[in-house]
Amino acid sequence: MTALSAIRRAETAPETSRELNGILNLLTCGSVDDGKSTLIGRLLWDASDLYEDQREALSRSGRTAGGSAHPDFSLLVDGLVAEREQGITIDIAWRYFDTETRRFVIIDSPGHEQYTRNMASGASHADVAIMLIDARHGIKRQTRRHAAILDIVGVKRVILAINKMDLVDWSQERFHAIETDFRELTLRFGFREAIAIPVSAVVGDNVARRGEHMSWYTGPSLLEHLERIPARDTTPVGPFRMPVQLVLRDGLDFRGLAGTVSSGCVCVGDRVTDALSGASAHVLRIVTMGRDLEIARQGQAVTLQLDADIDVARGAVLTTAESQPTVASNLDARLVWLWETPFDPRASYLLRTATDLAPISALSIKSLLDLETLAAQPAQTCTVNDIALAGITLARPVAIDRFGANPATGSFLIVDAVTGASVAGGIVSSATSADETTAASTFRLTREMLEKGLCRDLGDSEEDRREFQRRASEAALLLHAAGVPAKLDL
Amino acid sequence: MTAQFSHLGHLEAEAIYIFREAAAQFRKPVLLYSIGKDSTVLLHIARKAFWPQKPPFPLLHIDTTWKFKDMIAFRDKTVRDLGLDLIVHTNQEGLKRGINPFDYTPSIYTDVMKTQPLKQALDQYGFDAAFGGARRDEEGSRAKERIFSFRAAGHRWDPRRQRPEMWHLLNGRLGVGETVRVFPLSNWTEKDVWRYIAREGLDVVPLYFAARRPTVERSGQLLVLDDERMPLQPGETPQLREVRFRTLGCWPLTAAVVSSATDIDAVVAETLGARTSERQGRLIDHDQSGAMERKKQEGYF
């Protein structure tokens, strides 16, 4: 399969039953000046199934890129009117295109430093990232920052697209110089694969096809390389994890735990454990509409019926006995501050994990990443676009993994309890279990206290128990707001 | 079954996950059911997400009174067969004022008969979350849409107040006065919708299949006459043409395409080979530049 065989509607007879072999999420980061929109537009134009009305609209648009004879591909990508007027891309845009074998999802993220948060959130969805630079300028501060963000949110494959090769006379020396800098940069991070490709988005060389101007280059074109990368969720990796989203019922006989397998797999008959309560039972049925399954694999949405009625609800993480997440109250984390409102030590925050939501009793910023030197600088505050090392103490334990070991159950959001905003996104570097540290000044809010007053009206139904948890969390948040660190002892 | 996960399997699992997150996090959700192919897929996945339970929310249809008769028949049969709760809401004020798609511009008509009644119904029943079948591939301003799309009081969509979404984590904690639109099919394309309908053997409104229908040609678009309310312009005589629809809405505002695809396989084949985007058949989107973005800010889905 080469890039040249990439599907073109007009040339390919459609097959009714064809399904594509998986999905690859592709982040593009760089700025307008680097020709990012042009690169994406070129990829869509040359490699994909662009509709004719879209092609015509582009040809009619009357704008041409830099006065050249090519259509302005960036018009395919720049969505919102506000953005078109400002000539910048301020938010992530999602584009879809298919080649013969595969669905590509292009996550187009803005490049400038004031949009670091957009880039980080876009990157968190990516299987591979294209970092775009201008061949005339080489690797700059922005590329270093992008590499650092990609590394933090867990992107394992990166491509450096060295664009505008036409403006440096297709120079092999220039390419090699930049490639050497790139090697040096990527060694600092945990990427599995890093490759540099010389391209010209305007002319088209090495985007979807090889082109004629750089015969000295023997590597793959961008699209060729992308088509070789394995799709997401192709093989289950890691230990079994299923965060429970909901409990489903049908009459008196059916009680099922609904969720998506976030890693590994589980079979009928396997013994599964809820890390939080320690309760365990065997899988009796793996239920989906239409048919039961024998095995549920990473990425599948299922409902597990267990052979014993253990007390498991939303927020639990089902696992197999041999590999448990940590039931943690203290986390060391790296986070990206996402919201305009800066970190406020007196504000009330919640920790949103895969399916749990727990009150935070203390959040402290330890250092900020200097985006110039990539070194950590001691700090106590944190604001939008900052990347920080932080310590988090929870009012009650959650089941959580180290991000490096298990990304789906090792990432989190920090939520402002009052506005609901997602103020930060982060990953767990280390988690320590509940009983190791509790400061003497911490107030212990027990089940008994809550039952006497605040939750007096609640019974033992599933709904009431959920409401009990909710009120307990809110009470802890109020105590926190009043300056009293609280721990829920339920 | 192989370990390899097809792209439709992946998209289905993602949509189920989104349905479950929303059902767990919001107090009173509703599914906005507009009867078309996207709603058909949306409803099917909602059933899968909560099986063997029924979906824990009702359906809401905003009836402009200008929907194709076949659409209404299909809606009523679907709801009856599946035993679901359906709320039908029409802007009675707009109806009284005689707002119709012929005498008013598409933007006025859409605002009064679609956007306003949607807001009315959401407010009247106190729904805090509404599922919709919108896809990011439909249109430029949709390409930046979140899965949980927050609306301020008055259902206003402000792109700058949208929450960043990271990994699979969906944060549904609402601020005061906020509601949310939830889009489980965000990452689907038109082709995926048809492939999935074929794969799952779903029934769709017969208007998606080619048949000889009375049509007139207006501004290069083929309109099907669904009842007697359409005033003909001088020189127009309805002609029987073999046509079908790629997208369904109000019949005076939805253009048909000439086609001989009379079954699902033919429709899928035609869609995979299509040379124009589906929104070309939506007359309301061409009204003015940035039309969809503006409609969204006003509260349109």
Confirm whether B198 is domain-assigned: no
CA distance A143 to chain B (A): 21
Same domain, A443 and A411: yes
> Given strand B179-182, what is the order of strands in its sheet?
B86-89, B59-62, B29-32, B129-131, B179-182, B148-151
Question: pLDDT higher for A276 or A101?
Answer: A276
For residue B264, the chain A residue with the least C-alpha distance is A16
Same domain, A299 and A389: no
Same domain, B181 and B226: no
Are B119 and B300 in contact, with CB atoms under 8 Å apart?
no
Same domain, B17 and B165: yes
Same domain, A19 and A154: yes
Same domain, B138 and B56: yes
Mutation site, B2, B4, B7, interface A, largest A CB count within 10 A: B7
pLDDT tens digits, B46-91: 999 999 999 999 999 999 998 999 999 999 999 999 999 999 999 9
Same domain, B221 and B185: no
Does residue A246 belong to the interface with chain B, where contact is any CB pair within 8 Å? yes
Are A174 and A168 in contact, with CB atoms under 8 Å apart?
yes
Please answer yes or no on whether B47 and A289 come within 8 Å at the CB atom: yes
CATH at residue A293: 2.40.30.10
pLDDT tens digits, A419-454: 999 999 999 999 998 665 556 677 888 888 888 888
Rounded distance between C-alpha atoms, residue A267 and residue A83, angstroms: 49
- Which structural domain range is residue A145 located in? 3-228
Last residue of a domain, one of B169, B191, B213: B191
Confirm whether B297 is domain-assigned: no
Confirm whether B82 is domain-assigned: yes
Last residue of a domain, one of B159, B191, B223: B191
Which of A173, A174, A147, A141 is CA-nearest to residue A160? A147
CB atoms within 10 A of CB B82: 14
Residue B120 has pLDDT above 60, yes or no: yes
Confirm whether B293 is domain-assigned: no
Same domain, A422 and A349: yes
**pLDDT of res. A38:** 83
Does residue B198 belong to the interface with chain A, where contact is any CB pair within 8 Å? yes
Worst-scoring range by mean pLDDT, A65-69, A323-327, B146-150, B228-232? A65-69
Mutation site, B141, B171, B259, interface A, largest A CB count within 10 A: B171
For chain A, helix, strand, coil in percent to 5 are: 25, 35, 40
CATH at residue B103: 3.40.50.620
Residue A32 has pLDDT above 90, yes or no: no
Tokens of A345: 């030590």
- φ and ψ of A22, to 5 deg: 90, 175
**pLDDT of res. A50:** 59
- Which structural domain range is residue B81 located in? 7-191
Last residue of a domain, one of A228, A252, A277: A228
Confirm whether B100 is domain-assigned: yes
Same domain, A245 and A183: no
Rounded distance between C-alpha atoms, residue A26 and residue B187, angstroms: 13
Does residue A425 belong to the interface with chain B, where contact is any CB pair within 8 Å? yes
Does residue B290 belong to the interface with chain A, where contact is any CB pair within 8 Å? yes
Confirm whether A234 is domain-assigned: no
Rounded distance between C-alpha atoms, residue A472 and residue A454, angstroms: 9
**pLDDT of res. B287:** 45
Averaged pLDDT, A35-52: 75
Q: How far apart are the first and last CA of chain B?
A: 38
Q: What residues of chain A lie within 8 A of the CB of B198, using their CB?
A: 16-17
Q: What residues of chain A lie within 8 A of the CB of B164, using their CB?
A: 117-118, 120-121, 338, 422, 425
pLDDT tens digits, A83-115: 555 544 467 888 888 887 789 999 988 777 778
- Structural domains of chain B, count: 2
Same domain, A145 and A101: yes
Confirm whether A235 is domain-assigned: no
**pLDDT of res. B276:** 59
Last residue of a domain, one of A297, A320, A343: A320
- Partner residue facing A338 (CB), from B10, B48, B164: B164
Please answer yes or no on whether A297 and B6 come within 8 Å at the CB atom: no
Residue A20 has pLDDT above 80, yes or no: no
Confirm whether A305 is domain-assigned: yes
Residue B4 has pLDDT above 90, yes or no: no
Same domain, A337 and A472: yes
Question: pLDDT higher for A55 or B167?
Answer: B167
Confirm whether A356 is domain-assigned: yes
CATH at residue A24: 3.40.50.300
Confirm whether A40 is domain-assigned: yes
Same domain, B223 and B265: yes
Mutation site, A19, A44, A61, A335, interface B, largest B CB count within 10 A: A19
pTM to 2 decimal places: 0.88
% of chain A exceeding 70 in pLDDT: 85
Same domain, B233 and B98: no
Confirm whether B260 is domain-assigned: yes
Same domain, B187 and B155: yes
DSSP state, B156? B
Confirm whether B126 is domain-assigned: yes
**pLDDT of res. B290:** 52
Please answer yes or no on whether B6 and A20 come within 8 Å at the CB atom: yes
Confirm whether B1 is domain-assigned: no
Rounded distance between C-alpha atoms, residue A415 and residue B2, angstroms: 39
Same domain, B187 and B220: no
Same domain, B247 and B105: no
Does residue A341 belong to the interface with chain B, where contact is any CB pair within 8 Å? no
For residue B3, the chain A residue with the least C-alpha distance is A235
CB contact residues (below 8 A), chain A span 39-98, against chain B = 51-54, 78-82, 91-96, 98
Mutation site, B166, B190, B292, interface A, largest A CB count within 10 A: B166
Mean per-residue pLDDT of chain A = 84
